[in-house]
Every structure is written in C-alpha cells, then in structure tokens.
Structure 1
Amino acid sequence: MVYECIVIGAGIQGSFTAYHLAKNNKKTLLLEQFVLPHTRGSSHGQTRIIRKSYAEDFYIHMMEESYELWAQLEKEAGIKLYRRTGLLLMGPENGKDFQLIKSSIQRNKVPNVVLEKHEFSQHIPNVNLTSGDAAVVETSGGVLYADRALRAAQMVFQSHGGVIKDGEKVINIEPGNIITVTTNSGTYQAKNLVITVGPWAKTLLSQTGLHLPLQVVKINVCYWKEKVPGSYSINNRFPCFIQIQPKEAEHDIYGLPSNEYPGLMKVCYHMGSETEPDERDRQTDRRDVDAVSNYISRCLPGLVPVPAIVEGCMYTVTPDNHFVLDHHPAYSNIVIGAGFSGHGFKFGPIVGKVLCELSMGQNPSYDLSPFSIQRFQGNPQKDP
C-alpha cells in the first residue's frame, strides 16, 4: 500500500498535521518512535500557555486562527482544552522587548488591560512588581491542557481513518517520487512525507542531506509549593504570566497558576542547557532552577523558593527562535516542521494546517518567509 502521506513524529505538530490531512481525505500514516503516550519529547505535560502577545504581527495573525481551531477540536473531541486566565506580561517599562510586545498587541487590537503601578497589587495579589517594570494583561491568554490536546488530535485523526503506529523508530528515509520510510518494525511508502520529530530533527534530516542549525536544550520544568494553598490557584483566577528580563543575557521567566498539581505553581526559565535528545537525563545543569528560585524569592513571596517537583522537557531552538515550516530544498515532496524554540505548542493547529497545505501542493494560508530554510546561511541547493 502507498499512503498519500506519512507523518513522522506524533507530537503536537505532527498529530495536527495528520489530523488536517485525514480531514482532507488523505490516507495518512502517523509514525512515532516511542510507545504513546510518552514523556521523552517536547509535547508532553499537562499545561501550556496560550497567548497572542508577540512582538511580530505574523505570530499574532496565526494565533487568531489557532484559537478558532483549538475551539473546533474541543467540539470534535467533546473535551475542554483551554481555560482563560489572562496573561500578565511584566517587563522593564522602557525596555525594547516589553514595548515591542505592548505596541504590537495594541496595534493588532488584542484585548488587553494596562495595569498602573499604584493599582497592580490590588489586581494581582502575591506578586511584587520589579522596580522599573510595567505590566499589561492580555485578557484572552490562558492555559492549554497539553496531554489532553495531544490525545484529542490523535483521536480525531483516527476517527477520520488515520493510522497511528507507535514504538516504531525511523531508521532510513529513501526519497523519490514514492518515498520509502523504514522503521525498526517495517517499511512504508508514501507520495509525500512530513517530518515533525522535534529534538530528533537535526539527526533525521541529516539522513536526507539537510543540515539545519538546530540546538536541543533540556528544560527543567519546576513546580513550587504555595505557602497558603490557593494563593496562586487557577480557581482563584490567578493569571499565567511572562516576566521579560531586563538584560539580553537573561531569558524570560514564565508561570502558570496552580492547577495540575494541587498547591503547586509551575514557574520556569525559558531556556535550558544543551543536550542530546536520547541522553537528556544526563544533563544535570540547574542554573535555570537557581535563576527561578531567586526570582521567586523577590517577586512571588507566597511560594516556597525551592522546587517541589522538577520534570524534564526539551526545546529545539533555531538561531532566531522562529520555526522551520518549509519544503525540503532538494525534495519537494518532503515537508519539514521543526525548531519550535519552546513556544510552538499553542500554534499546533495552525502549524498542522500549513504543513498539510504544503504537503498537498497548495498555497499556504500564511506567508511562510519567516520560517523558510533559506534564511539559514549555507543551506543546500534547491532542485535545478
């Protein structure tokens, strides 16, 4: 049997690509190297932030449709995937990054409320606003239930006739008009291939002669105990937050209200230390944990500044932190989604739609020039 499309990698981007292909009546196989569900990649865990707060207009426009597609999946799967909490954005009042995001959301009419310093503590209890910082709340921001969302996308994909084969690691890709994909358990053929393998992208793509500047980092996902239970709870309407750091050398800190673990709030550093995806547990650098602990001591006085739980995750980071959404430069029937740089989950439905469009030979719904492979120097030549 020859499939219309094979999608390698059943994280959120691959699962949504497969979902859109199946809804377009394309016979699709979704391959996953680990037995599902698993915690070895970048799509696991119970929660992610969803937001439109970006400096770049193109992300805001993509997120507008992404919200609609998340709501559609909720209806199709009959399960709640999104909870609105608002997103509190804090950062140096005169800092470039904060001002860019603030002006961008206001220009694009993203619903927001500017919090004046004198009223901040009245609206946001248990948070100390850093001296010199300003604050704005994006009212449509909130929490995505990640594990639940991944299962929902896969379930709808299967309900449209899609096939999932997990526990099958791809060991060879043979390009051609008909592409042959060999796993440790079998051989499959398809007219088109979409590669969405997260931290394994660099290795797998090198088999096809493509070398992308992708860096894999291990993230310590930390949960911190509330001194008074409920202080930072989703049920008490505590928002998600992003703290924009004053210096470029420092990465942002983000948090989600206590939810998945009762009495524990998720607060993390938006970067980690380089690792190999199959050996991430050997990476024991905890400088990011220390940075968050210091921040909590200063700004979140209602949390115990020692993490109660530390879990692992991985980011696959591009030099400019923008995604890769493009055809393979040498093989037009191979499409690549990679380098989501720790902020791609919320885009899953729209990334899946765009990768589906590329694999079907359609014009994509969005200008993909910010996500092209060509932007990296020294890229391979395209077909003559």
Structure 2
Amino acid sequence: MASSTTYDTIVVGAGVEGLYTAYHLAKLKQKTLVLEQFPLPHYRGSSHGQSRITRMAYGDQNFYTVMMKEAYQLIEVLEKESGQQLFIQTGLLCIGNENDPIVRGSAASLQQHGIPYEKFGTKEQKQKFPMMSFPDNFGFVIDRLGGILKADKILQALQTQFKKYGGTLRDEEPVVSIDPGDSVTVQTTKGSYKAKNIILALGPWAPKFLARLGLHLPLQPVRISVCYWKEKTPGQHSADKFPVFLMEGGGGDFTIYGLPAQEYPGLVKICLHNGPRIDPDDRDTVNNNWVMDSIQQYVQKHFPQLHPIPAVVETCIYTNTPDHDFILDRHPKWKNVIIAAGFSGHGFKLSPVVGKVLAELAIGAKPSYDLKPFRIDRFKNTSKL
C-alpha cells in the first residue's frame, strides 16, 4: 500500500481531458497526481482510437470557435514538444440543407472570425468531391483549417510530457472514496493521497461517481459504433482527396461524421453521432440495430463508392448533457472539487483549452474564457445539486 502523499492537485481520469489538465498543471510547477482506474492504454472510455475530427466551424455556437483558435495553437506546442505530427489538415466539409444551421451558421461564424472557408452548392460538390451524392437543394461549407487529430498519439504525448514536467501518473488504481474538506483525501485500492484540489474527469463514469458526492447531474452515456467502410476504388477517399465531414439533418437530430481512409488502408470512417443509452460497465448488452440500419442506409445513399456494409466496427462512449455543452465547474458545496464532464462527443478537439481552464480553476486564477455556458447551475431545474 502506498503511504499518504500530499499534492497540489489530484486529477482523476487519464482520458484526454484529464491528461491535458494535468499537463498544464505540471507546466505551472504544480505537484500533480493523475489516477486512472484501468491499465493504460485502455479502450473502455471516450478518448481512445487513432483519430478525431478537429474544426474551427461550430455553427451557431461561437464560443467554441473562439476557444478552438487557441486549441490549434496548443496542439502545435505539443507537436513541437513531442517531435511528432499530431494534426493532419484535410479541411472540414459541412453538409446540410442550404438553410440548416450547420451550413448557414458555420459560414457566418467562419467569416466573422476571419477563418478561410468556401461555400458552394451541389454542382460544385460533384466537381470537387465526385465520390459523394447529395440532393440539389444541399449546401456545403469547407472550413479550410479542419482536419484529423491523431488521438492515440496525443494521449501518449501528454503522458510523456506530463511526466517530463514532474507529474505522477498511476494507472490500475481505482478511486474508492473521496473525503472533501479544506483539503481533499482520496482513498484508492492501493493507497491514500491528499491534495489542495481535486479535478474529476471521469468520462462515462461521472454520473455514478458524482452521485456519491451528492451531485445528480443529467449526464447520459451512449455507445457509439465507430464504422469503417471499404472503398470500391482504392485511393479514392485518401486524405489528400477526401476531407473530414460533418452532416446534420432533421434540425440537428441526425448527425453523421466521417474521416478519410487514414487509419485502415482503404477503409473510410463514417459514424452516426448517436447511439443507445448504456451503463459503461455493461456496454455491449444493448440493442444497436437501429444505429447500424441508419448508418448503412446513409452510406448506401450518399457514398456510392463505398461498400454498404462496414468492414470494421469498433466502439466508443459519449457522455451527453441535455444541451450538448460541457460541464466545467466547481462542486456547489466544495469549491476545491472541480468537475469536468458531459463532453457530448465533441470534447477531444477542445481538450487543450479545457485542460488550460481547469488548471486555472485549480490554481485560483481567472479562467481565460467565460465559463458561464458550462456551469452546473444551468441544470438546477432538472438536477439535485
């Protein structure tokens, strides 16, 4: 058993949000411990896998576009520190009905923030991206700065740099209990630790664990089917020809995203941004047929140059809030208990900035961004706070 050790901050959860937070804290010379319940690397949460989409375009949610400007800069810093390429610029193609927020809002936001973009109709789409098939009333916006984040490599780089800056990372060490107060005592399966602050970046385990601290938030884990589709003509969907894309329909109720053939040779990643509700400890017993039916029909209709049955299916977990905005806030009772949760399937790209503001909260600095959209009290009518 490890003896009791005191830290400035303990971060629980070594997903991308927890690791980026710990990395920033360590760079600020804070004595920081990261606790992770599973052996690393693991594939049970929300941060694993080789790729994620990144983008400046964020429709009507301008505060994310503002945050993304610095997120890009911070990824560049990590690239330089690690000596690795962590970002591939392909452009992001926003797809939807001409009047859908994803098309109209993205163009307006990109223009407002001086980000290079292009807007066009179906005729131009067929010339630029002939492997796609969409109705004549569709509109398209290319965010020129969009692309692919190398997710697994980012996690590895953060672990390495965190340790270089003096941080301590303990995996295979589940937290058994937290005793909040002027300082926080954390009991794990292997030892006891004290800290001035604790940051809970628990991913899909947040609803269960936060309930033990008297916080019942509207967080819902869902299982995402990560599908890869084989090209009929090899090389047609490579990263130099095929952008990452995002399509919304039905007022945002039906969202599809895709990435070029990058991870598996000749396989394009296209997924539904939704899935069945799950318990993260019982994730594979749910009925997933409606997800697979929806995505297969979509690929068959709009991507005729792909085989309509996925060649590979993997899984990931989103933890959704009702408004799909994050929770970045202090516990209502204990101000040194900081919560990072509900990233709703779009947290990875923003993690460099999320980690920065969580570190600022921990050291008592003014956050670099307005955190009002992410406060817990927005759920006061639907939650036990």
- TM-score exceeds 0.5: yes
Q: Select the residue among 280, 298, 302 that pairs with 1:299.
A: 302
Counterpart residue type for residue 150 of structure 1: L
Match of 2:182 among 177, 181, 197: 177
Q: Which moves more between the two structures, 102-111 or 191-200?
A: 102-111
The CA deviation string for residues 18-57 of structure 1, in whole angstroms up to 9 with x for no partner, is 0000000000000000000000000000000000111211
Is 1:3–2:4 an aligned residue pair?
A: no
Q: 1:358 pairs with 347, 361, 364, which one? A: 361
Q: CA deviation at 1:231?
A: 1.1
> Residue 110 and residue 286 in structure 1: after superposition, are their counterparts in 2 closer, same or farther (change >3 A)?
farther
Post-superposition offset of 1:177? 1.2
Cα separation, 2, equivalents of 1:193 and 1:146: 25
2:45 match: 41
Equivalent residue for 2:327?
Answer: 324
Aligned to 1:339: 342
Counterpart amino acid of residue 12 in structure 1: V
Of 124-133 and 51-60, the range deviating more from structure 2: 124-133
> How many residue pairs end up in the alignment?
379
Asked if residue 228 in structure 1 is aligned to residue 247 in structure 2, the reply is: no
Aligned residue runs from structure 1 range 117-128, under 5 A: 117-128=122-133
Task: State the alpha-carbon separation in 2 of the partners of residues 293 and 2 from structure 1.
Answer: 52
Contact 2:96–2:103 (8 Å) recurs in 1: yes
Q: CA contact under 8 A between 1:192 and 1:334: conserved in structure 2?
A: yes
Alpha-carbon offset, residue 286 of structure 1: 2.6
1:19, 1:141 → 2: CA distance? 24
CA RMSD of aligned residues (A): 1.2
1:184-333 equivalences in 2 (<5 Å): 184-234=189-239, 236-245=240-249, 247-248=250-251, 250-333=253-336
1:220–1:286 Cα contact (<8 Å) kept: no
- Secondary structure of 1:311's aligned partner: strand
Equivalences for 1:135-154 in 2 at 5 Å?
A: 135-154=140-159
In the alignment, is the contact (CA less than 8 A) between 2:95 and 2:102 conserved in 1? no
CA contact (8 A) 1:330 1:380 kept: no
One-letter identity of the residue aligned with 1:336: I
What is the CA-CA distance between 1:154 and the residue it aligns to? 1.1
Query: Residue 295 of structure 2 aligns to a residue in which SS?
Result: helix
Q: Residue deviations 1:261-293, cap 9 Å, x none? A: 001000000111100011112224131221111
Identity %: 48
Aligned to 1:155: 160
Task: Determine if the alignment matches structure 1 residue 79 to structure 2 residue 84.
Answer: yes
CA distance in 2, matches of 1:79, 1:145: 10
Counterpart of 1:167 (choices 156, 166, 172) is 172
Once the two structures are superposed, what CA deviation does each residue of 1:288-345 show, in whole Å capped at 9, x if it has no partner? 2211111111111110010111111000000100000011111011111100000000
Q: Which residue of the partner structure matches residue 27 of structure 2?
A: 23
Q: Give the TM-score of the pair, scaled to structure 1.
A: 0.96
User: In structure 2, the residue corresponding to 1:230 is in which secondary structure?
Assistant: coil
Structure 2 residue 112 is matched with structure 1 residue 107: yes
Q: CA deviation at 1:115?
A: 2.3
Q: TM-score, normalised by structure 2?
A: 0.96
